[in-house]
Amino acid sequence: MTAPTVDSPPPPLRLPRRRGVELSLLVGAVLISVYGYAAVGLAHDDAVPPDVAGYGGGLGLLALLAHLAVRFRAPYADPLLLPIAVLLNGLGLVLIYRLDLETPSDTAAPTQLIWSTLGVALFIVVVVLLRDHRVLQRYAYLSVATALVLMIVPIFFPAVNGARIWIRVGGFSFQPGEFAKILLAVFFAAYLAANRNALAYSGRTVWKLQLPTGRVLGPIVAIWLLSVGVLVLERDLGTSLLFFGLFVILLYVATGRIGWIAVGLLLAAVGAFVVGSFEPHVHSRVQDWLDPFATIDAGRGPSQLAQSLFAFAEGGMLGTGLGLGHSILIGFAAKSDFILATAGEELGLAGLTAVFLLYALMVARGYRAGLALRDPFGQLLAVGLASILALQVFVIAGGVMGLIPLTGMAMPFLAQGGSSVVTNWIIVALLIRVSDQARTPRPGQPETGVIAPIVEDEQ
Amino acid sequence: MIRYIRRAAAFCLLLLLALLANAARVQVFEADELTANPANRRNTIARYDQPRGNILVHTGSGDATATVTGSTDTGEQLAWERTYLHGPLYAPVTGYASQTYGTTLIENAEDDILSGTSSLLAPLPLWNDLTRGRQPGGDVVTTVRDAVQRAAYEGLAGRKGAVAALEPSTGKILALVSSPSYDPERLSGTGAAVTDTWTRLNASESRPMLDRAIRQTYPPGSAFKIVTAAAALDAGVVDDPDEETDTPSPYVLPGTSTVLPNESSGCEKASLAEAIRVSCNTVMAHLGVEVGLDGMVEAAGDFGFNDDGLRIPSGVAKSNFDTEMSDDQLAQSSIGQFDTTATPLQMAMVAAAVANDGEIAQPHLVDRTTKHDGDTVSQTSTRSYRRAMSPSTAVQLRRMMVDVVENGTGTNAAIDGVTVGGKTGTAQNGVDNSGAPYAWFICWAQSEAAGRPEVAVAVVVEDAAADRADISGGGSAAPIARAVMEAALPRD
């Protein structure tokens, strides 16, 4: 009878939180992992592993708990981040389990599952307890102090495979440098957010390059040099490369000065050349990279890199199928640094591309959160965390596939390594937090949930 | 700051694109090269991932066959290892299939059938290329007959030497024995036991891994006189083998003052038939010179000398007859000395040529190959290798060789009720004949009911331990040849 009046109040605002999308993607991620686990068993023993239900249920439970934490504590968070992390972690467990079958006396998958559980637990803790990422800004200097301590401590522990980056306590060992990544990213983001104008606009100009005052630049360069110096001392070149890249990217994003990148690259090139020429450990890796087959010609058998390339080549377009490759020939690092070779051999270029795209999506979602945030610290933190993932993937994947010299580093979520998997879960938790902040509708924003157009700032 | 975040994102995208391009490079464009790298163990692992096909020999008069090889699953990374059911007996036929040292002889020549990679085994053309897989290994049925092989092996009884036996009309190799031999199974796998065996076998002075039947050449000595006789008859230098020749005795080598001796008496002006029967050096050296270098080279070539391309399917060492010689060298070469050398298989072919009306059938060791389920993949048909002499020359030589066995130097080879033709040889060896001479016997046999000779045999014994006087083709080699012929002839 009565037509609705134009004056009636609008229906309650329903913002797209997309938690349902996240949940269904999580179900998919768990199912894919369980399928992979069963496929390995079928290929190897012609039978589905008896504990498939247990593993699948365990992974599913972890995913569900993480999802609930996000649903109630970060309802606007990006719905892709968590499913991608679960899928990569699940795939990593499958690959490690698959390699365990070749080395029955030395199994790594159960330990990795424990670490993954710890990682998810810390993920939940971070999502639940950290209500606003800006709190972290206050702890910038505590972060950097902790990071340096963590990095320096392993010097007092014996070297493992040539690198002093492990702390061994009882039967467990972990790499403190992994955790230092996050702390350093927090510090860089906080320091640069606070000082970016001074860095960009103050100081003298020397031949087109505007030098900031030493008072502003000094501390951060000192921190950076110290951390890289320590890592070189510990022969952890992958991480020093990562810190370098992180520093340059954040410095560029904060100041917009290409000149700094040029200077940074120049310094890095000189440093890399010097280290590559004189440090025997690095020198041999550069040699391997230049000619992966030199050891074969010399009659000493294929190097790890050559074995890795053989594995990738065997995979071809579609791969041999899970459980049907021979990447265990790579030797002792097959489950850690070289885990990607198993993916490449058994899943082929198709599977590898999918894995790369998963990482790329995760990185892109981090960057997107950075773009949507309003506070410079949050922007820099999001960019820093996403860049850590991107650089890690590039450095290790490029290394094991012969694109760049090999430096020891863990493929995020895939590789065997407790510290790495825990650290990456915390990174994802922080990205969830900043993406939640970025997507939470602000008062006065249009009802569509579309993020307000962003006004370009300086320049 | 937004602009710089976008640029940083673009940089990350570039990193990803570099990774993808590099992945495509390794996995697609360089994949074949990397897969083919010999240091890539995947080929080896796939190769030993299934049992190898078997090598079979004939066990009866009919088509009955039995395998002489097997495979065993070790459960190691290179899972299936080769086993050999009769150890050293068939080593000169099969060769070895070792995970450490590769393959030889039939194991090598028929490897793609045995390992299952041959496209002939695939259900459809190009199937293997498509699936990158392999079929179950196929079998190789040899022409070897178990009884003949055993007779030869037992006849040599561990003495250094070799035996080759052929079916003259078809070229089927009935036996190929080298002694002393070795057990190829001990080279099958990997590990210290295998490398130790390998080192020991290679260091052994008796060279057990040498396949003397096809890979070692010996001066053929008087056994070569059959070639010279065929050349003299075909060239018309001798019209009637029973007519006396104008050979002086002693015979002085042309252009030198060296006197060529005879072991036997009555060789002056002896006829060709008599010279064959009692093995006159002087007559045959003289005839060789009369035939001339070109004629002798051609005749030897017609028998297979100087052919370095003979495969059975394993490669056979080249038997040598020099193409440039002075007359005195030609004279010595005509009695199987100087630089003339022959493999035992080559000398069996000489006997087979006489037995088969002058025609040499292509010698071959593989009768047929089959799929895993027994379906024939390929069959070796009888082909002509060369015509060594005219049919009439062959008839005359057969009569002369029969005379050798009935009345001459080869009486030890005679078999009751069987027509046997033979020729002995005792080849001098070493500088100034310091080494022990080699005892040769080449022969053929034809049972009464048969229309043509059924077997041709060559035996060489290099027995350094024996008293030199005892070494003679008739004494050492002929009894072995007789046992081999008896084993090859059909039983009543």
DSSP A327: G
Chain B contact for A441 (CB, 8 A cutoff):
no
| Predicted local distance difference test score (pLDDT) of residue A195 | 85
Instruction: Select from A403, A434, A455, A456 the residue whose CB has the most chain B CBs within 10 Å, as the one to mutate to test that interface.
Output: A403
- For the residues A344-362, what does the mean pLDDT come to? 95
A353 Cβ under 8 Å from any chain B Cβ = yes
A174 forms beta bridges with A167
In this complex, which of B15, B32, B40 lies closest to A390 when CB atoms are compared?
B15
Question: pTM (2 decimals)?
Answer: 0.72
- For residue A450, pLDDT beyond 60: no
Lowest mean pLDDT among A50-54, A351-355, B133-137, B167-171: B133-137
How close B44 gets to chain A, by Cα (Å)?
11
Q: Do A394 and B18 touch (CB under 8 A)?
A: yes
Nearest in space to A294 (alpha carbons), one of A396, A402, A394: A402
How remote is the C-alpha of B217 from its chain's centroid?
10
The C-alpha of A257 sits at a distance from chain B's nearest C-alpha, in angstroms, of 9
Chain A residues with CB-CB distance to B37 below 8 A = 293, 296, 302, 306, 310
- Find which of B3, B5, B17, B130 to mutate to test the A interface (most A CBs within 10 Å of its CB): B5
Band (pLDDT 50/70/90 cuts) for residue A93 is: very high
Instruction: Find, in chain A, the residue whose alpha carbon is nearest to that of B38.
Output: A296
Q: What is the pLDDT of residue A170?
A: 65
pLDDT band at residue A458 under the 50/70/90 scheme: very low
CA dihedral B17, B22, B28, B29 (to 10 degrees): 120
CB pair distance less than 8 Å for A393 and B19: yes
A456 touches B at CB < 8 Å:
yes
The pLDDT tens digits for A111-148 are: 899 999 999 999 999 999 998 999 999 999 999 899 88
Cβ–Cβ pairs < 8 A, chains A and B: 132
Rounded to whole angstroms, the Cα distance separating B115 from B138 reads: 7
ipTM, two decimals:
0.89
Q: Which residues of A touch B11 (CB under 8 A)?
A: 249
CB-based contact (8 Å) between A383 and chain B? yes
Query: Which pLDDT score, from 0 to 100, does residue A1 have?
Result: 46
Helix, strand, coil % in chain A, rounded to nearest 5: 70, 5, 30
Q: Name, in order, each residue with C-beta under 8 angstroms of B319's C-beta and a sequence gap of 6 or more.
A: B217, B304, B305, B306, B307, B341, B342, B343, B346
Q: How many whole angstroms separate alpha carbon B303 and alpha carbon B342?
A: 11
Residue A176 or B8, more confident: B8
10 Å CB burial of residue B77 (0-12, 13-18, 19+) is middle
Look at B16 and A314 and tell me if their CB atoms are within 8 Å: no
In this predicted structure, what is the pLDDT of residue A119? 95
Tell me the percentage of chain A whose pLDDT exceeds 90. 43
Among A73-82, A226-235, B67-76, the range scoring the smallest mean pLDDT is A226-235
Chain A interface disruption, residue of B6, B12, B47, most A CBs within 10 A: B12
Partner-chain residue, chosen from B12, B35, B39, that has the shortest CB–CB distance to A314: B35
Cβ atoms within 10 Å of B448's Cβ, excluding its own: 9
d(CA A99, CA A450): 46
**Closest partner CB to A398 (pick from B6, B22, B24):** B22
The b-or-e profile of B144-155 (16+ CB within 10 A means b, else e) is bbbbbbbbbbbb
Distance from CA of B11 to the nearest CA of A (A): 9
**Alpha helix (H) residue ranges in A235-375:** 237-255, 258-278, 280-290, 294-297, 304-315, 339-372
Chain B residues near residue A458 by CB distance under 8 angstroms: 1
Asked if B56 and B64 count as a contact pair (C-beta separation under 8 A), the reply is no
Chain A residues closer than 8 Å to B79 by CB: none
Do residues B127 and B139 make contact, with C-beta atoms less than 8 angstroms apart? no
Q: A31: buried, middle or exposed (CB in 10 Å: 19+, 13-18, 0-12)?
A: middle
Report the candidate in A328, A232, A311 with the shortest Cα–Cα distance to residue A276: A232
Active-site choice (B98, B181, B188, B222)? B222
Task: Give B4's contacts in chain A (Cβ within 8 Å).
Answer: 252-254, 256
CB contact under 8 A, A344 and B24: no
| CB-CB contact of A32 with A63 (8 Å) | no
User: What single letter denotes the amino acid at residue B334?
Assistant: S
Mutation site for A-interface testing, chosen from B26, B41, B49 by largest number of A Cβ within 10 Å:
B26
Q: Is A344 on the interface with B (CB under 8 A)?
A: yes
CA–CA–CA angle B66, B69, B74 (5° rounding): 140
Task: Say what the pLDDT of residue A267 is.
Answer: 76
A340 touches chain B (CB under 8 A): no
Please tell me the distance in Å from A396's CA to the nearest CA on chain B. Answer: 10
pLDDT at A202: 64
What's the pLDDT score for residue B151?
92
Q: Which residue has the higher pLDDT, A172 or B250?
A: B250
Residues making up chain A, counted from first to last: 459
**A20-23: long-range contacts (C-beta < 8 A, 24 or more apart)?**
A21/A79, A22/A67, A22/A70, A22/A79, A22/A80, A22/A82, A22/A83, A23/A67
Nearest in space to B460 (alpha carbons), one of B414, B420, B415, B429? B429
Separation in Å, CA A421 to CA A149, A245, A282, A414: 21, 21, 26, 8
Does residue B295 contact residue B287 with C-beta atoms inside 8 Å? no
pLDDT at A280: 78
**Cβ pair B307, B345 in contact under 8 A:** no
Establish how many alpha carbons lie within 13 A of residue A214's alpha carbon, considering only the half-sphere containing its beta carbon.
0
For the residues A343-352, what does the mean pLDDT come to? 94
Cβ-defined contact of A379 to B3 (cutoff 8 Å) = no
Among B13, B20, B40, B78, the strongest candidate for a mutation testing the A interface, having the largest count of A CBs within 10 A, is B40
Task: Verify whether residue B222 is a known catalytic residue.
Answer: yes
Give the Cα separation of A357 and A338 in Å (integer): 19
What does the angle CA B443 – CA B466 – CA B220 come to, to the nearest 5 degrees? 35
Cβ-defined contact of B9 to A367 (cutoff 8 Å): yes
Contacts of B23 in chain A (CB under 8 A): 312, 344, 349, 352-353, 356, 401
User: Cβ A401–B26 below 8 Å, yes or no?
Assistant: yes
Closest chain A residue to B78, measured at CA: A326
Taking CB atoms and an 8 Å cutoff, what residues of chain B touch A256?
1, 3-4
**Beta-strand relationship, B359-361 and B366-370:** unpaired
Please state the separation of Cα A304 from the chain's center in Å: 24
Q: In chain A, which among 109-138 make CB contacts under 8 A with chain B?
A: none
Please check whether residue A301 is in contact with residue A275, taking contact to mean a CB–CB distance below 8 angstroms.
no
Hey, are the CB atoms on A393 and B28 less than 8 Å from each other? no
CB distance from A314 to chain B under 8 Å?
Answer: yes
Q: Which residue of B has its CA nearest to A345?
A: B27
Digit-coded pLDDT (tens) for A410-434: 899 999 988 999 999 999 999 999 9
Residue-wise pLDDT tens digits, A292-321: 888 888 888 888 999 999 999 999 888 888
Cβ-in-10-Å burial (0-12, 13-18, 19+) of A312 comes to buried
Low-confidence ranges of chain B (pLDDT < 70): 61, 126-133, 429-435, 464-472, 491-492
Residue A165 has pLDDT above 60, yes or no: yes
Phi, psi (deg, nearest 5) at residue B206: -80, 0
Tell me how many degrees the CA angle B442-B448-B449 measures, rounded to the nearest 5. 120
Q: ∠A429-A433-A437 over CA atoms, to 5°?
A: 165
* Chain B residues touching residue A454 (CB < 8 angstroms): 2
Shortest Cα distance from A330 to chain B (angstroms)?
A: 11
Report the chain A residue with the minimal C-alpha distance to residue B12. A390
pLDDT beyond 90 at A44 = no
Which of B65, B42, B45 minimizes the C-alpha distance to B55? B65
- Per-position DSSP letters for B237-271, written without gaps between them: S-S-TTSBP---SSEEPTTS-PEEP-SSS--TT-B
Average pLDDT, chain A: 85
Cβ <8 Å between B8 and A367: yes
